[in-house]
Structure 1
Amino acid sequence: MERIRVLIADDEAAVREAIADLVSSDPDMEVAGTAADADEAIAMAREVRPDVALIDVKMPGGGGPRAAKEIREVSPHTHVVALSAYEDRRTVLEMLRAGVVGYVVKGTSAEEILYTIRRSMRGQGSLSVEVTADVIHELASLLERSETHARELQELNRTKSELIQILSHELFTPITTIQGFAMTVAEHGDGLSREEITLLAEGVARAGDRIRRLVGNLAAAARLDREGVEFPTRPVPIGAVVERALGEFPRDRERIRLPEDDAWGSAQVWAEPELAARALVGVLENALAFSPDEEPVEVGVSVRDGELELIVADRGPGVPEGMRERIFEAFTQTDSSTTRTHEGLGIGLYLARRIMRAHGGTIGVGDREGGGSVFVLSFPALDGTDPAPQDAQLLSER
């Protein structure tokens, strides 16, 4: 049986000599070489190709981490064992990340040092008892974080797959509408009346509006992921937020009922205008999709308890109590069946909640008297905000 050839690297001559004597005293081992710093240890490993390298953690020339990493590069079959006076968790983990298979604390018994060398030769790890408990605790924490990260990645992949599937469906519908109308005009244009052409054009425009809102929602979601809560804000009149949101519904404007002209008063919020409007777009899109065509969607504003509330009331089927949190999750509709009849990607309300939270506000939903839902977007109000009295009927229905 061939002896285990051991390289010893330590900047203290007394330590090198003591370990060399210990290794030489074992009939199964021999000293392959000694080194006083990392550079010398790496060069010696390249030259003698030891079976085991016992290296000091804090020696000059880059220390044990550099020596361990580069010894494994120049002599891949060499098993590296760290030798250190340090028992702290950080040092141990740093050496483990560098590729050592063992960690021996100086002052450890001769038997344990020889035992560690033998185990490392077999590719088996070994830690001094002084550091084992701390390292196991840290490794357990790392494992837990790794498992949590893996679950998050798995959920992210699931969400991405679901997003691609839903996007395919949601984009397919308006694109098919546009293609169908275009083909109708191309094939039968000469026989179509002006009224029929106008209806076809209106359908194309609505399909385009839907695609534009979809892209806007996705862009806003990406911006929130990128910027978090670091986007710039400023005092914004709430009326300007509403008007910006209404611009996303040029063909449904007559279905959205606003209070009288002076209802907004001097009401302002501290917000990023585009994102604040996007939150309202998500709520309006939901309300328009679920309300009968003949029923208006009403928008109001009020201030209570230091918050400015944008109120959107519809005459849709309402939201079951058990769904009032879930509808603010991504890709969720109250009707989640494959035969659902209402349009929508299911990210509008999810995005609205993310935006409101990023502004330090909230969003909620309740029942509307007589049927339907009332959504409330609550922004922290600026000092001096004073909206005029508004539609008492709408407020009384909350």
Structure 2
Amino acid sequence: MVVLGEPGAKRVLLVDDHVVLRRAVRDLIDLSDRFTVVDEASNGDDALRIMGDGRVDIVLMDVNMPGLGGIEATRRIKRWHPDVEVVALSATGDVDLVQGMIDAGAAGYVLKGGSPEELLQSLQAVAEGKGVLDDTVARDVFNQMSQMYREQQARADELDEVNRMKTEFISVISHELQTPLSIMKAGLHLLHHREDTVDDETKDVFFTSLAAETDKLIHVVDQMLTVAAIQKGDVFAVPEEMVMSDIALGAITSMKDHPGTERMTLDIRDDAVLVTGDRGRLVKVVRSLIDNALRFSSEEVSVVVDRNHQWGQLTVTDRGPGLEASLRERVLREPFVQGDSSNTREHGGLGLSLYIANGVLEACGGQLRIGEGPGGSFRMMLPLLKRQSSA
């Protein structure tokens, strides 16, 4: 029995909708010379009418009753008769009911079916102005409070993680924006203040550089918008039928001036792999996979197109450092995840390409898988059209 508090009184009003239970409880209370049952009621409304006589010190109140229930009846009793103590007598230790009765002003909560000694001890504690909780109820309340604490701690940890990601995002995005903006500012300043002294060839170099840096900024903005769409589940994909090898060829053609493409090999093992998806977005996905491989490896990068059971497959493989096992799932499910996110890292980027690739593929009904072992292996999988899936 959990007891808390100080002095009270001894005349009892018994409120319960079961007459047999009222009789049993009355007989039990009558065994003690410290309490007497002065009246009985079968619902909250009857109890309030009896309370008008002013001859009750303790109300032993059932919680669930027809008509006016125990919680509201207790609330009204405490409002109109603040000196009267209420003890909940219930068949259930449901924590919400316990909380409801305590919030309404009950001084105690005991369970039906307990021993006569426990009930009388509870009445005595309340008569002395103390609070009382049945041991079982106290354990349930403690367990719920412990669970609430764990949930609050988990939410706090989530907020800490969100704040960490925000800080990391600001750091990474600042680093990625600073270089192109600085180059653009320097070029514009030179052309604005020294235009007459700059020859046409130098101007062409500056304009080419400004265009390249502008493209980088546009790419950053495009990535951020795509991430927002993925997180809202709002990736707009225009499905169409296509040959898987055309996606690879489209990506490679768009990279003809990209540094390092001379190290790339294309192996189309099946040139009739028919899939469906958003061609424009899928070409960007393949381009980003190839770009990653070229940046993280100084050796050969291979692109292989084939099929496997229900899937059309395009696999980009490099001989770089690969991804740590702990990061393989995270880079697909969390934005801004990188092996090294410091400003001194060797390779730039926002840590979004694999997250975006996986989000776009899922919007097209596909998936991205990251291989194990040395080097990097990234397999883009799209469902085969049904008419050829058994081929």
Shorter-chain TM-score tier: 0.5 to 0.7
Aligned to 2:351: 346
The CA deviation at 1:308 is 1.7
Does 2:172 align with 1:166?
yes
Change (3 A) 1:136 1:200: same
Contact 1:72 1:78 in 2 (8 A): yes
Q: How many residues are paired up?
A: 372
Among 378, 382, 386, the residue aligned to 1:383: 386
Does 2:186 align with 1:180?
yes
SS of aligned partner of 2:344: coil
> Mean Cα displacement is larger for which, 33-42 or 146-155?
33-42
Mapped to 1, the partners of 2:162 and 2:309 lie a distance apart of 38
Contact 2:48 2:77 in 1 (8 A): yes
Aligned to 2:207: 201
The CA deviation at 1:377 is 1.9
The one-letter code sitting in structure 1 at the alignment partner of 2:133 is: S
**Structure 2 residues not aligned, in runs of 5+:** 1-5
Does 2:307 align with 1:303?
yes
Among 74, 91, 95, the residue aligned to 1:93: 95
The CA deviation at 1:344 is 0.2
SS of aligned partner of 1:223: helix
Does 2:289 align with 1:287?
no
Mapped to 2, the partners of 1:324 and 1:157 lie a distance apart of 20
Mapped to 2, the partners of 1:275 and 1:97 lie a distance apart of 54
Mapped to 1, the partners of 2:266 and 2:149 lie a distance apart of 57
Alignment of 1:1-398 (within 5 A): 3-4=8-9, 9-12=15-18, 37=43, 54-61=60-67, 63-64=69-70, 81-85=87-91, 87=92, 92-98=94-100, 100=102, 102-117=108-123, 126-127=133-134, 129=136, 144-145=150-151, 147-227=153-233, 234=239, 236-237=241-242, 238=244, 252=258, 255=261, 265-271=271-277, 276=282, 279-280=285-286, 282-290=288-296, 299-313=303-317, 317-319=320-322, 325=328, 328=331, 330-353=335-358, 356=361, 359=365, 361-365=367-371, 373-384=376-387
Contact 1:235 1:268 in 2 (8 A): no
Contact 1:119 1:126 in 2 (8 A): no
Mapped to 2, the partners of 1:221 and 1:19 lie a distance apart of 65
Mapped to 2, the partners of 1:226 and 1:196 lie a distance apart of 45
The one-letter code sitting in structure 2 at the alignment partner of 1:188 is: R
Residues 4-26 of structure 1, C-alpha deviation per residue, up to 9 Å, x if partnerless? Answer: 48776534567668768977997
Mapped to 1, the partners of 2:279 and 2:52 lie a distance apart of 64
Mapped to 2, the partners of 1:12 and 1:77 lie a distance apart of 27
The CA deviation at 1:72 is 8.0
Mapped to 2, the partners of 1:194 and 1:47 lie a distance apart of 105
Aligned to 1:392: none
Residues 225-258 of structure 1, C-alpha deviation per residue, up to 9 Å, x if partnerless? Answer: 3339x98885642467568878997974995978
SS of aligned partner of 2:380: strand
Mapped to 2, the partners of 1:181 and 1:165 lie a distance apart of 25
The one-letter code sitting in structure 1 at the alignment partner of 2:336 is: F
The CA deviation at 1:110 is 3.8
Change (3 A) 1:287 1:138: same
Identity, % of aligned pairs?
27
Mapped to 2, the partners of 1:270 and 1:76 lie a distance apart of 73
Contact 1:79 1:123 in 2 (8 A): no
**RMSD of aligned Cα (Å):** 5.3
The CA deviation at 1:356 is 4.9
Which fold has the larger relative contact order, with Cα–Cα distance below 8 Å and residues 6 or more apart in sequence? 2
The CA deviation at 1:92 is 0.8
Mapped to 2, the partners of 1:7 and 1:377 lie a distance apart of 74
SS of aligned partner of 2:168: helix
The one-letter code sitting in structure 2 at the alignment partner of 1:157 is: N
SS of aligned partner of 1:107: coil
> Mean Cα displacement is larger for which, 92-101 or 248-257?
248-257
Contact 1:319 1:334 in 2 (8 A): no
Contact 2:336 2:350 in 1 (8 A): yes
**Structure 1 residues not aligned, in runs of 5+:** 387-398
